[in-house]
A and B are shown apart, each in its own frame.
Chain A
Amino acid sequence: MLNKYPMWKNIMVVLIIAVGGFYAIPNLFGEDHAVQVVATRGVEVTAQTQATVTDVLASNDIAVKRSELENGQLLVRVQNPEQQLTAREAISEALGDKYTVALNLAPATPEWLEALGGGPMKLGLDLRGGVHFLMEVDMSEAVRKMEEAKIADFRSQLREEKIRYAGVRKTPRGIEIKFRDADTVGKAERYLKTRGTDMVYSDISSGDNFVLLANMSEIYLKQIKEEALQQNITTIRNRVNELGVAEPVVQRQGAERIVVQLPGVQDTARAKTILGATASIEFRMVDDKASPTAAASGRVSASSEIFDRRGGGQVVLKKEVMLTGDHITGAQPSFDEYSRPQVSISLDAKGGSIFSNVTKDNIGKPMATLFIEYKDSGERKEDGSVKMTKIEEVISVATIQARLGRNFVINGLDHKEAQSLALLLRAGALIAPVTIVEERTIGPSLGAENIESGMQAMIWGMAIVLLFMLIYYRAFGFIANLALMANLIMVVGVMSMIPGAVLTLPGIAGMVLTVGMAVDGNVLVFERIREELLAGRTVQQAIHEGYGNAFSTIADANITTFMTALILFAVGTGAVKGFAVTLMIGIATSMFTSIVGTRSVVNALWGGKRLKTLSI
């Protein structure tokens, strides 16, 4: 029989729309006021912390809606904004400065819904307010530093091998090593090649000039850049944690850029100072003559200072700095021959010679690594600039076993310690500086305004389109309107389901546009049905032909729009990407609702019946 859908097809339509609708539900619940606790220095947020927080809130008469411990973060939901502020102060006081306590808004999705993977759409910065930074890592600086290290390497290696060279210098072509005769060039080349594949050598001798040219291999260059980028991302991530921002984004973009998004942050100056703050490392000797009891009461000799140890306790260090962290060119966690964790550190040439001199006289004595970092004090100086407090912590104490050169190891650590020490050492030696190349700040009021104006546009556009369809196509118009609304719900549902999809203002525009364009499918079908009716076909034939003939046209037309959206997604950034995502989802869902969806309703209402006229 014409125009009858099998039952499974109807069920499928209902099911798909229901699933879309189900995942759209979380968007109706709004947000809870919450307080977020993140550990910053050498501690972890545990169930113990959670218990402490619960106690503190109970003693302040603050009712906790829900308290969740996830990914090392504690999120405590409270009833209202006033309680949120009180809660933050109380928790912050109770936990001390090792934790960052931040205000947050958490989606108020019921737990059962969340368990099924439900959650509201994620809003872009243009709708939430906040700061977006694009930072660029200065790769030429990273490469330059490595080149310097290589030059020093060449000098010492050739000297050790007793290969006489006339000079090593950096030229635009690469690193040039000069020799006195052709034999030595060959000897040096053969020897250096055995030392690793980081560098590529070529003999560029001409006449009396005996020169070996060394260039970094492509792989090595890539590795240097990759490391510089990763290291900066790690550093920035740590600092962003210090800012206490809820749900920050720190992501690489391309080969040398990092995107930082800080929702809700308005004070850009403060954010910039903290992201740009430097951390550094100092190696100092432990003052082993200082008595522990005297140290505990703060009495030490004039040449020494007392420092806190990370993880508790105190150490007395000599004031004299043996070496500063800017000589560090690399730090990697590794294992010694007994598979014990250690950190391998390499220094630049100057650092190597200083270090070799000072360690020679101190074999068997303990040496400490001091980590110095500038942290936002939360206060402002008189001129409005951010006041930073200096934080100094001893991160490791190790005994010097032998005279240390340019490459040495620190051991006596557990695996985790080795990893974090390597990270800190590298952070202390920021080999490649970063600059902000793009910055966008959206005030919170503007974010709210953007949502409001987007919704306004949607409501107006949709209302007029719905009204028009109803008047023009009557019963069929009503069905088209149902499809349009189902489409909108599905777009919201799919947007909520896809983890990477972010709703931006142009995204809302994309939804509004979808509303206007989605009716196209129905208009094509309905016009065709009218034509077929006028051409004298029966009602059932007209419906059948109308849907049948319009399908390939609708598909063609939508595929092209989908293609452009795909291209926009590929090349666009931020807000434009958001638009492309929404448009693509809208096209897919609208094809489904306007063809399959309306057909199933039309079939159910009129399919297979003897009809003389059609309300179209």
Chain B
Amino acid sequence: MFQIFSVKKTINFLRHAAPISILSMFIVLASLGSLATKGINWGLDFTGGTVVELEFSNPVDLNNFREKLVTPTTDGAVVQNFGSSRDVLVRLPVREEVKSDDQVDGVMVAAQSIDSSVVQKRVEFVGPQVGKELAEQGGLAVLVALICILIYVSFRFEWRLAAGSVAALAHDVIVTLGIFSVLQLEFDLTVLAGLLTVVGYSLNDTIVVYDRIRENFLKIRKGSSEEVVNTSITQTMSRTVITTGTTLITVTALFLKGGTMIHGFATALLLGIIVGTYSSIYVASYLAIKLGINREHMMPVEIEKEGADQQSMMP
């Protein structure tokens, strides 16, 4: 049997929990601080505006291109490379007096003056009103997702565990957003989708640990709550590492090979999965312990019954 973790000895995960949770709090506060001061680099989907993606036949001198874009129609253009030095992304803000079409034409004129065989690969225009609505819908989606999950876990688990899992989720969302804010990565609709997926995934991790905690509280008659939690985390550790590993492999493949249009999405997943795995141990489980979880709380047996039902039903 080839194993990454041997489960013979229980690892004392919670020994360093206190300093680590202080660190977590610090990271959350730092994230909130960055969100408050630097804010988020909202993408086109939320701000409205125009984006033009160009492919030049040769590497382009961006400064030269930027100078060419200082025209009445294309003023305020942000130019950046992505993928390769031949691929250029031009972002234009919404301006009342200039139509989006004219802005795009202006960009094409400037680009063609540098390279006549430049290809316009993608143009996106989002009106300011639509952007605002998308932002509202997105915020609503995250909120609804969190509420639904809160309802689900509080129905499925004892409230101390439920509180722990929701705290872990809030932690994941805030820290991932914080990293996007610190690095000023662009936040668009696909990133939002990524973030919501992270919410689901991170909860997935927490639930696996919780299920084991619940089971062990009923099985192991001796030992403190800490010991039971430590045992549970240790027992699920190799599963956690393997699943996180395979998911990270595929997300890394998306990140590296998936192309520019889902780069933000892959980034959000990559960050969120790492943060989410960590939080299921050090935020979710630790908070449940701090809230005083113990054997008695696991005693209401309806939950066990529900599990037992399903066992006999399925495989």
- Chain A residues proximal to chain B, CB less than 8 Å: 126, 134, 136, 268-269, 272, 436-443, 445-446, 449-450, 453-454, 456-458, 460-462, 464-465, 468-469, 471-472, 474, 505-506, 509, 512-513, 515-517, 519-520, 523-524, 527, 530-531, 534, 547-549, 551-553, 555-565, 567-568, 570-573, 575-576, 579-580, 583, 595-596, 599, 616
Chain B residue at minimum C-beta to C-beta distance from A134: B130
Known contacts: A557-B204, A564-B197, A564-B199. The answer to whether A468 contacts B249 by CB under 8 A is: yes
The CA-CA distance from A269 to B125 in the complex, in Å, is 13
The CA-CA distance from A225 to B245 in the complex, in Å, is 53
Question: B251 in the interface, Cβ–Cβ < 8 Å?
Answer: yes
11 interchain pairs (CB within 8 A)?
A436-B127, A457-B258, A461-B250, A464-B249, A551-B310, A556-B156, A556-B211, A560-B203, A561-B203, A564-B196, A596-B314
Please state if B156 and A457 are interface contacts (CB–CB under 8 Å): no
Number of inter-chain CB pairs below 8 Å = 233
- Chain B residues proximal to chain A, CB less than 8 Å: 1-3, 7, 53, 55, 100-101, 119-127, 129-130, 134, 137-138, 140-141, 144-145, 148-149, 152-153, 156, 189-190, 192-193, 196-197, 199-201, 203-205, 207-208, 211-212, 215, 235-236, 238-239, 242-243, 245-254, 256-259, 261-262, 265-266, 269, 306-307, 310-311, 314-315
| Chain A residues within 8 Å of B254, by CB | 457, 461, 509, 512-513
Please state if A567 and B144 are interface contacts (CB–CB under 8 Å): yes
Please state if A520 and B148 are interface contacts (CB–CB under 8 Å): no
Partner pick for A571 among B101, B137, B246, CB 8 A cutoff: B137
Please state if A460 and B257 are interface contacts (CB–CB under 8 Å): yes
Please state if A509 and B258 are interface contacts (CB–CB under 8 Å): yes
Chain A residue at minimum C-beta to C-beta distance from B309: A552
| Chain A residues within 8 Å of B314, by CB | 551, 595-596
The CA-CA distance from A427 to B262 in the complex, in Å, is 41
Q: How far is the CB of B205 from chain A (nearest CB, A)?
A: 8
The CA-CA distance from A39 to B40 in the complex, in Å, is 50
Partner pick for A472 among B2, B121, B123, B253, CB 8 A cutoff: B2
3 A-B pairs closest in CB distance: A516-B250, A453-B259, A461-B250
Please state if B310 and A555 are interface contacts (CB–CB under 8 Å): yes
Partner pick for B141 among A562, A572, A579, CB 8 A cutoff: A572
The CA-CA distance from A509 to B119 in the complex, in Å, is 26
| Chain B residues within 8 Å of A454, by CB | 258-259
| Chain B residues within 8 Å of A567, by CB | 141, 144-145, 148, 196
The CA-CA distance from A356 to B225 in the complex, in Å, is 91
The CA-CA distance from A291 to B77 in the complex, in Å, is 65
| Chain B residues within 8 Å of A468, by CB | 245-246, 249
Q: Which of A456, A457, A564, A575 has the most CB of B within 10 A?
A: A564
| Chain B residues within 8 Å of A549, by CB | 215, 311
Please state if B249 and A551 are interface contacts (CB–CB under 8 Å): no
Known contacts: A437-B129, A575-B189. The answer to whether A527 contacts B238 by CB under 8 A is: yes
| Chain B residues within 8 Å of A517, by CB | 201, 204, 243, 246-247
Chain B residue at minimum C-beta to C-beta distance from A444: B121
Q: How far is the CB of B295 from chain A (nearest CB, A)?
A: 19
The CA-CA distance from A516 to B197 in the complex, in Å, is 13
Q: Which of A442, A456, A517, A534 has the most CB of B within 10 A?
A: A517
Partner pick for B261 among A450, A472, A561, A563, CB 8 A cutoff: A450
Known contacts: A437-B129, A506-B265, A572-B189. The answer to whether A457 contacts B257 by CB under 8 A is: yes
The CA-CA distance from A445 to B126 in the complex, in Å, is 22
Chain B residue at minimum C-beta to C-beta distance from A254: B133
Please state if B261 and A512 are interface contacts (CB–CB under 8 Å): no
Please state if A572 and B239 are interface contacts (CB–CB under 8 Å): no
Chain B residue at minimum C-beta to C-beta distance from A469: B246
Q: Which of A445, A509, A549 has the most CB of B within 10 A?
A: A509
The CA-CA distance from A196 to B166 in the complex, in Å, is 56
The CA-CA distance from A416 to B239 in the complex, in Å, is 67
Partner pick for B310 among A437, A552, A570, CB 8 A cutoff: A552
Q: How far is the CB of B78 from chain A (nearest CB, A)?
A: 19
Q: How far is the CB of B120 from chain A (nearest CB, A)?
A: 7
| Chain B residues within 8 Å of A596, by CB | 314-315
| Chain A residues within 8 Å of B144, by CB | 567, 571
Partner pick for B204 among A445, A551, A561, CB 8 A cutoff: A561
| Chain B residues within 8 Å of A551, by CB | 310-311, 314-315
Partner pick for A438 among B101, B125, B145, CB 8 A cutoff: B125
Chain A residue at minimum C-beta to C-beta distance from B245: A468
